[in-house]
A and B are shown apart, each in its own frame.
Chain A
Amino acid sequence: MLCLKAAEQVLRKNPNHADTQAMKALIISNQGQQKEAFALAKTALNNNMKSHVCWHVYGLLYRAEKNFDESIKAYKFALRLDPESAPIQRDLAHLQIQMRDFQGYIQSRRNMLQQKPGFRQNWTALAVAHHLAGNLEDAENVLTTYEDTLKQKPTRADMEHWEAILYKNYIIAESGDYEKALEHLDAVGKKSPDVLGVMEMRADYLLKLGRKADAADAYAALLDRNPDDSAYYDKLISAKGFAEGDEAAMKEIYEIWSTKFPRSDVPRRRPLDFLSGDAFRDAADSYLQRMLRKGVPSTFANIKHLYLDRSKLEIIQELVERYLKEDVQPQMNGSAESSSEDEASRFHCSALYFLAQHHNFHMSRDLSKALKYIDEALQIDQKSVDFHQTKARTLKYFGAIPEAMEIVEKARSLDERDRAINTKCAKYQLRNDQNEKALDTMSKFTRNETAGGPLGDLHDMQCIWYLTEDGQSYLRQRRLGLALKRLHAAFNVFDIWQEDQFDFHNFSLRKGMIRAYIDMLRWEDRLRDHPFYTKVAVSAVSAYILLHDSPDLVHGPIPNGVNGVGQDAQANAAERKKAVKKAKKEQQKLEKVEADKKEALRTSKSAPKATDGEVQKDDPDPFGKALVETKEPLQDAMKFLTPLLDLNPESIKAQCVGFEVYIRRRKYLLALKCLLALHAIDPQNPTLHVQSYNLSKILNNDPNRASSKLAQIISTEGKTLLPEDNKLVEWNNNFLNHHRSSTSHIQAGLRVRALIGKEAKATNEKDLLEALLLDTTSMEEASDGLELLNEWGSPKEVKERYRSSAAERWSRASIFQAKQIEIQ
Chain B
Amino acid sequence: MAEPVPSASNLTAEAAADNEEEASSQLPKNAEDRKAAAALNSLNANEITQDGAGSSAAGQPSKADQEALGKAMSRLEIASGAGASQKKSDQKKAEEKKGVEVKKKVKVAAEDVNFLVDELDLTKVKATELLKAHDGDAIRAAKAYIAPPSKA
Q: Which residues of A contact B (CB under 8 A)?
A: 3, 19, 23, 26-27, 30, 52-53, 56-57, 60, 63, 83-88, 90-91, 110, 113-120, 138, 141-142, 145-146, 148-149, 151-152, 155, 157-160, 503, 506-507, 510-512, 638, 649, 667-670, 672-673, 676-677, 679-680, 709-710, 712-713, 716-717
Q: Is B42 an interface residue (CB 8 A)?
A: no
Q: Given A110-B85, A160-B58, A676-B148, does the pair A84, B69 have CB atoms closer than 8 Å? A: no
Q: Given A114-B30, A672-B146, A680-B149, does the pair A159, B59 have CB atoms closer than 8 Å? A: yes
Q: Nearest 7 CB-CB pairs, A to B?
A: A673-B146, A680-B148, A87-B9, A117-B77, A118-B48, A149-B76, A677-B148
- CB pair A669 B25 closer than 8 Å: no
Cα A549 to Cα B19 in complex, Å, equals 54
Cα A88 to Cα B5 in complex, Å, equals 8
- CB pair A53 B5 closer than 8 Å: yes
Which of B69, B72, B148 has most A Cβ within 10 Å? B148
Q: Is B15 an interface residue (CB 8 A)?
A: yes
Q: Is B65 an interface residue (CB 8 A)?
A: yes
Which residue of chain A has the shortest Cβ distance to B81 in the bound complex? A117
Q: Is B128 an interface residue (CB 8 A)?
A: no
Cα A548 to Cα B5 in complex, Å, equals 49
Q: Is B101 an interface residue (CB 8 A)?
A: no
Q: Is B142 an interface residue (CB 8 A)?
A: yes
- CB pair B120 A506 closer than 8 Å: no
Q: Is B33 an interface residue (CB 8 A)?
A: no
- CB pair B77 A118 closer than 8 Å: yes
- CB pair A511 B57 closer than 8 Å: yes
Which residue of chain B has the shortest Cβ distance to A716 in the bound complex? B143
- CB pair A149 B121 closer than 8 Å: no
CB of B5 to closest CB in A, whole Å = 5
- CB pair B8 A709 closer than 8 Å: no
For B82, list chain A residues within 8 Å (CB). Answer: 114
- CB pair A113 B28 closer than 8 Å: no
- CB pair A118 B44 closer than 8 Å: yes
CB of A112 to closest CB in B, whole Å = 10
Find A86's partner among B26, B55, B119, B142 (CB 8 Å cutoff).
Answer: B26
For B84, list chain A residues within 8 Å (CB). Answer: 141-142, 145
- CB pair A145 B80 closer than 8 Å: yes
CB of B147 to closest CB in A, whole Å = 7
Q: Identify 22 residue pairs between A and B in the complex whose beta-carbon atoms are under 8 Å apart, listed by A's number.
A: A52-B5, A53-B5, A87-B6, A90-B9, A115-B30, A118-B51, A119-B21, A119-B51, A145-B80, A149-B80, A160-B59, A507-B15, A510-B18, A510-B55, A673-B145, A673-B146, A677-B148, A679-B148, A680-B148, A680-B151, A709-B115, A709-B139
CB of A184 to closest CB in B, whole Å = 20
- CB pair B74 A506 closer than 8 Å: no
CB of A366 to closest CB in B, whole Å = 37
For A503, list chain B residues within 8 Å (CB). Answer: 13
Cα A266 to Cα B27 in complex, Å, equals 61
Find A53's partner among B8, B48, B72, B138 (CB 8 Å cutoff).
Answer: B8
For B61, list chain A residues within 8 Å (CB). Answer: 152, 155
Cα A149 to Cα B73 in complex, Å, equals 6
- CB pair A649 B80 closer than 8 Å: no
Find B8's partner among A56, A668, A670 (CB 8 Å cutoff).
Answer: A56
Cα A360 to Cα B143 in complex, Å, equals 46
Q: Is B67 an interface residue (CB 8 A)?
A: no
Which residue of chain A has the shortest Cβ distance to B80 in the bound complex? A145
- CB pair B121 A670 closer than 8 Å: yes
For B81, list chain A residues within 8 Å (CB). Answer: 113-114, 117, 145
For A506, list chain B residues within 8 Å (CB). Answer: 14-15, 18
Q: Given A680-B151, A710-B119, does the pair A87, B8 have CB atoms closer than 8 Å? A: yes
Chain B at the A interface: SS class: helix
Q: Given A56-B8, A118-B47, A713-B143, does the pair A151, B115 have CB atoms closer than 8 Å? A: no
- CB pair B146 A717 closer than 8 Å: yes
Q: Given A86-B22, A667-B119, does the pair A118, B74 have CB atoms closer than 8 Å? A: yes
Cα A670 to Cα B26 in complex, Å, equals 53
Cα A492 to Cα B137 in complex, Å, equals 39
Which of A142, A676, A713 has most B Cβ within 10 Å? A713
Chain A at the B interface: SS class: helix
For A120, list chain B residues within 8 Å (CB). Answer: 58
Find A30's partner among B11, B15, B69 (CB 8 Å cutoff).
Answer: B11
- CB pair A149 B77 closer than 8 Å: yes
Which of A87, A91, A157, A677 has most B Cβ within 10 Å? A87
Q: Given A110-B88, A510-B15, A713-B139, does the pair A680, B150 have CB atoms closer than 8 Å? A: yes
For A512, list chain B residues within 8 Å (CB). Answer: 57
Cα A638 to Cα B59 in complex, Å, equals 50
Cα A138 to Cα B92 in complex, Å, equals 11
- CB pair B44 A90 closer than 8 Å: no
Find B121's partner among A667, A676, A680 (CB 8 Å cutoff).
Answer: A667
Which residue of chain A has the shortest Cβ distance to B60 in the bound complex? A158
- CB pair B22 A90 closer than 8 Å: yes
Find B12's partner among A91, A116, A712 (CB 8 Å cutoff).
Answer: A91
Cα A473 to Cα B44 in complex, Å, equals 63
For A60, list chain B residues within 8 Å (CB). Answer: 8, 11-12
CB of B43 to closest CB in A, whole Å = 10
Q: Is B17 an interface residue (CB 8 A)?
A: yes
Q: Given A60-B8, A113-B81, A138-B88, does the pair A677, B149 have CB atoms closer than 8 Å? A: yes
Instruction: With A151-B69, A160-B59, A506-B15 given, name 13 new contacts (CB 8 A).
Output: A52-B5, A53-B1, A118-B51, A118-B73, A145-B80, A149-B76, A151-B73, A157-B59, A507-B15, A510-B55, A677-B149, A709-B139, A717-B143
Which of B14, B78, B120 has most A Cβ within 10 Å? B14
Cα A160 to Cα B55 in complex, Å, equals 12
For A680, list chain B residues within 8 Å (CB). Answer: 148-151
CB of A545 to closest CB in B, whole Å = 17
Cα A13 to Cα B67 in complex, Å, equals 47
Find B69's partner among A119, A152, A511, A676 (CB 8 Å cutoff).
Answer: A152
Find A669's partner among B5, B142, B148 (CB 8 Å cutoff).
Answer: B142
For B80, list chain A residues within 8 Å (CB). Answer: 145-146, 148-149
Cα A713 to Cα B120 in complex, Å, equals 13
CB of A338 to closest CB in B, whole Å = 58
- CB pair A85 B5 closer than 8 Å: yes
Cα A160 to Cα B56 in complex, Å, equals 11
- CB pair A26 B72 closer than 8 Å: no
Q: Is B110 an interface residue (CB 8 A)?
A: no
- CB pair B18 A117 closer than 8 Å: no
Cα A345 to Cα B31 in complex, Å, equals 82
Cα A60 to Cα B55 in complex, Å, equals 26
CB of B19 to closest CB in A, whole Å = 8
Cα A145 to Cα B82 in complex, Å, equals 11
- CB pair B4 A53 closer than 8 Å: yes
For B142, list chain A residues within 8 Å (CB). Answer: 669, 709, 713
Query: Interface readout for B77-117 with A: 1 if CB under 8 Å, 0 if not?
Result: 11011101100100100000000000000000000000100
Query: Interface readout for B15-41 with A: 1 if CB under 8 Å, 0 if not?
Result: 101100110011011110000000000
- CB pair A160 B57 closer than 8 Å: yes
Cα A6 to Cα B76 in complex, Å, equals 46
For A141, list chain B residues within 8 Å (CB). Answer: 84
CB of A150 to closest CB in B, whole Å = 8
Which residue of chain B has the shortest Cβ distance to A112 in the bound complex? B25
Cα A141 to Cα B90 in complex, Å, equals 15
For B121, list chain A residues within 8 Å (CB). Answer: 638, 667, 670
Which residue of chain B has the shortest Cβ distance to A119 in the bound complex? B51
Q: Given A85-B5, A90-B22, A151-B69, does the pair A670, B146 have CB atoms closer than 8 Å? A: yes
- CB pair B31 A83 closer than 8 Å: yes
- CB pair B47 A116 closer than 8 Å: yes
CB of A123 to closest CB in B, whole Å = 9
Cα A638 to Cα B122 in complex, Å, equals 13
- CB pair B59 A712 closer than 8 Å: no
Which of B11, B30, B85 has most A Cβ within 10 Å? B11
Cα A3 to Cα B3 in complex, Å, equals 13
Cα A23 to Cα B143 in complex, Å, equals 52
Cα A98 to Cα B138 in complex, Å, equals 33
